Structure 1
Amino acid sequence: MSKKWFYRTLLSYIPVFFVVTAFLFFIFFQTLSEQNKKETIKANSFVAEQAIRFIDHSLKAIDEKVTLELLRNQDLAAFLSKNGGSDLKLEVSVMNAMRDLKITNPLIDSIYIVRFQDETVLSSSTSYPLSRYPDQPFITSNRKAPNSVWSDSRSFKEFSYEPDSQVVSLTRGFPVFTQEKGMVVVNVKTESLYGLIRQMYNPDISFIRLYGHEGSELSDASENTGKMVQEGGKVYASYVSDYTGWRVDSGIKKTGLTGLILDLYNIWIGLGILVVVGAVGWIVYVTRRNYKPIELIVSRLEIFLAYKARFIGAGADANVFKFIESALDSMIEQSNQLERQYYQDLTVRRNYFINELLKGTRRVGAEEWKQEAEQLLMPATFGRQIVFVVEIDKYAEFCKEYNHRDQNLMKFVISKAVEETASAGEESIWVLWTSSHQLTCVLRLEEEAGAEQSEDMALFESIRSWLENNLQLTVTIGIGNRAEQPEGLRDSYNEALEALRYKAVYGDNCLIDYGKLPSRGEANEHMRLILSIVDAYRLAQDDWLDKLKTLFQAMRRSVLSRDDIVSLLHSLTFHLNRAVSSIGPQFQPLWKDRVFPQLQALPDAFEMLEEIEAQYTLVLRQFADELHELRDAKTNHLAIHEVKAYLEHNFTNPNLSLDFLSDQFGMNGKYVSKLFKEAYGVKFVDYLIDLRIEHAKRMLKETDNTVQEIAESVGYSSAISFIRTFKKVTGVSPGDYRKEK
């Protein structure tokens, strides 16, 4: 087999490899060397600056403490002001004060006081005549100017038999402003100063040196300073203190491994050459190993080109690369199309899976969730998730303002805005439009158990405010409770929808958290009254007026504010509008043109509750009369009214159905259902369910009958069907409802 492609591939690698590698090799080491040098200088500069600041801070603290003691200590003032003689008690008190200074400032090695009046020196242990004190030369040199900065390194010993120690000294005169009575001398060992900064550097690699005002070094007994000079240490940074006037130098010692690295730079060059040689050997090995499959592919392409050339009359050699390029482009395009189709199908499958969980049509456990999640590219663990529903406010106006194409574009922007806002917080979210005006979102919360709910509310608020500020579009967000298991998504979704039912009370363009809704009490009682009024009014029941009076009586009893009353009336108007909108087109012009605008305007122009009650009742009564006349004018209304009356008296019959009514009244079942919906705005089946559930509620509250007995008494042959229907309508099971009531 020919090795043409092997040599071609190999020779195409090597020149570029050598040129690029060699260039990058020398650039890298040069850059590394310069960078290391800069970093070294920077590090030494930082260490030197911090060292001088730390020393200044410590010495300033001593200076301030001594000065404050001179100003505040009465015993010290009395001792220095004394004209002569010995006062043992006073001296002991002053000694204790000096000991306290040493205890509170461990850096102080020794401290003594000089009284000029009788030339007496008092240390923390005893007193001396000045002429016999070992530190007399230093006292004499500073007597005329006792207030001085810290001195350079000097020898000091308190007792003649002690060895000399290197210290720096601070002198302060008394009184502070005249200094004619005496002075205080504080000594700090230079070894202690080095001890302060020794943890800032590694003495085996680097060094820090302190120098006094005249350039003399403040020696450190724990280190051999001369040895550092012999070893060739290099200074990289130097700082001078504004407080003491001392200078600090910092640098690197050329000893051990550090010196070897700095001196033997060429070793890196040799290692680089070895790496290059190894890389060349690796390229030869890999090329030899992989050239055969490549040659096989090319040979097959050449065979195909030779076969194709018979029909197009072109030489294979002339077009081989063009053909390869064309074939690869075609493969890549097909791959991209398949990938796009895959993600589109994946999105549809994921939305369908989530929709099943939200609707409760599929029960999924933790293990099944893991299996589905792996296929749908979702997190394998369910974690904690929450469902919230974004509802477009004033959707009818939204549809009027935008055409169908723009509506879809706006909805796309809304869904993307929600996804991007949630993704910014590193949280997973899945969104789908479950109705024309409601975007349902499933948000996977972070795993930390301590995550605050306020963080979730901040996310929802950012979504709402972004849509309002950027799209000039307001939305109301209903929020369910957190779900710990996949089956909990259905409950969280229903809770979010339930929260949106309070939109009329809480207003639009806001967040409504189901967990913060009142589960009992007057707010729910008012809402139940409103819904019962709406149902009675829509079905032309005679007790709607009594229920309306009961609502206003409840308002009086609750002592509601004007804003609360307005909110309830707006809620009642909202639900009435939705109910009337579903009872037939022939009633709509009268309602929309006259009655609905009046009801909307009434809550904004009343002062007393009696006024709004009378006006609201009058408007509804007039429309009810006109509605009754319109219904009576229809030929089939009397028959439908009889059907409705029959349902109210026989809803406990388990055989009651459209076919049963068809036989009972001699009318087609579908036609009966159509007329019933037009007349009362509700389906026959839904009205029958409402009658049965309301009767079941009364029996659960007022009797001790079992759920099975109640199910049979309201027309259900199966207790399971009754429980499922009851929970769907009320949100709770019959047993839980009985416990609550």
Structure 2
Amino acid sequence: MSKNWYRRLLFSYFPIFILTISIVIFLSFLIVNEISRNETEKAGRISTSYVVDSLDRAVNQVEMEILRQMENDPIYGQFLAGDVEKGSPEFMELAKKLWALESNNELLDSMYIYRLSDQRIVSKYGFTTQEVFADRAYLEQALDEPTFQGWSQIRSFKLLESDKPEEVISMHKRLPLPFGQEGILVINLGAYPLGRMIDDMTRSNVSFLHVTGKEGETIFPKGNLGMGSIDEKGNVLTTLVSPKLGWTFSSGLRAGQLFAWVSVISYVWIIIGLATLLLAVLYIIYITRKNYKPIQVMMSRIQALPARSSDVTTRDELALIDYALEQLIQQTADYEQQHHENLLIRRRQFFMDLMEGSAQGEAMEKCQSLAVLQASEHAVHAAVVIAEMHDFDAYYGDFSHQDQQTFRLTLMNLFQELARERELDGWAEWISGNQLGIIFTSGPDEDVDAESFNEQLRLTVKSIHQWAASQFELTMRFGIGIVTSLDSQLNLKESFQSAGSALQYVLALGENEMVFGSDVPLQPHMESYKYFPIMAGIVKMFRLTNQEWREQVHTLFQMVGSELLADHDIRMLIHWLRQMLGRELMDLSDKLKDYFVGEQARQWRVELDKAKRLPEMEALLLEMMNEVYRVYVSTNENKSYRAMISEMKAYIEEHYTNPDLSLTILSDRFQVSAKYASHLFKEEFNTKFVDFLAQLRIVHAQNLLSQTDEVIQQIALQVGYANSVTFGRVFKRIVGVTPGDYRKYEMKPEHANE
């Protein structure tokens, strides 16, 4: 036998291993590259921000120093007032101070003051007039725009006609400060000193800085300042604009400098990656040899078995192991499946035989052989329960057949476990697509009578119902058959039939979705002639807008409940009532017709069929008829405002528990304005809507306070108040005492109103 699998196991790891190592090295390089770029960009932004801030501070310092001296020295005010003339001592002092200012600040190229009264200009060189002044073009621009703030673009400037032009940036201020009308101060900063200042802060063999003016003209590098232009030195990483000068500063790294040191780190990563790769290869060889040892042990055991065909023995190790295990598993699975299927079929067939009363021989002995009801050998009582699920296909119809079968089997086992928790023995089988039959037997205690066993059944079925609703969201109803005395034949036919009959009376008898077969009438028969007069009366009152039709509906349901009619008979009566009402109303409008033959009619019929108890069905029917009644009244051309106000009153009495109930809701419901609805209330009841609603809520609250022990907060919510504070304030205003005192003194509604 060759060790093919050892080599396969060894080399199967290598492709993904090498790919993983390569990706790790590549990602490491990318991460280092990105970190380097981010840090470089961050450093460049800090450096460029420093240059911009330094330049702005220097320019601002020059401006502040000049303005401070202008404000503090009276000689400048004397000049503007015309008290300084050429040749006077004051003139010499003024010229000397201008000269000192320019000499003490290397950024300051020159400055001069223009006197508006006689259009004369003073500078460090003395007096001159506007007509012959060398910088008269800028001066005229300053006179045209005296309120302009900020520095000008770089311009050519000379103070005297004989001077060599220099590039400066200029700003002007009205004198006296801050907004005088006597003259103008012009400050000129040299472009070259500013560029030299930038150059002193940016000399580097790695980075570059390019400065452009407001209109894109190059300011730096220029001439012998700077080390090249942006196009020759690399990519821009940072761009900032000076708020003081309006210049744009663009910085970055020179080409070839960004990844120089990154390459060194990359080589280190490659060396580390290769070393890791070598160590991993050695580890793979070691772990593969270690993991192969159990395979060797298994092969030695398989080879010790009787010899098999040469085709099998020539395979590699795992193929031989797989073949041996596959044969063993297949044989075991076939046997277990066949045994289980036969057992399930035999169980279900025997269960149906018991239900039909056709079981042959000793039933208890057969139960023991089928492993069901094993704890019922000495049981005294037995009963059959049928659990019926609503809309099983709607919830689980999309599941595969195998999943549905697994779910059904789970329910069977869980129901049996819940029975054992109540000290009952149970056996459950599916008798139809949505019905599960369960046989319950009591314990061997002979003192347990039929009534006690019935109570045990009720508690067990209740726990099954609650568990199914909470865990699977299943809606189930249960028919509990009559209790029979247990013998060896397990005669359960009568109990099964009574359980089936009980399921037909859930609406009238169902408590928590369960009905006992002992409560079902022996000879059920609906005498329909009793109900037609009252249904005809309901339709007539409805058509004549007589509000007592609701009471008649309630009377109809009381009769149905007292007669103990079957579910299908009750639904048939309700269907007849809807048909009778439809014949009277459906031709009045298309909207009314939809309630009886349209989509709305179909939805309501589905909801009525889903009703679990008579009160629920009555509430659904009243809700439907109330909506139809509102539409009918609104479409009736001969209706009066009294009919409308009666409907409003009925609507309020029905929905007073809604905290949001207001005139707006009434106006939307009855298609009238809120103002008109308020007017109808005032005319009909001589009270406002809010007072009527508050009085109605407080009357109900008084009844709850005197008849129940519920807390005041809960009562407030039940009568339509969102919080107990508002409820207490309204209660005291109407009744005269607080809710707590009302309950404390055991007052009655009529006494409190007095």
TM norm structure 1 = 0.33
Larger radius of gyration: 2
TM-score norm. by structure 2 comes to 0.33
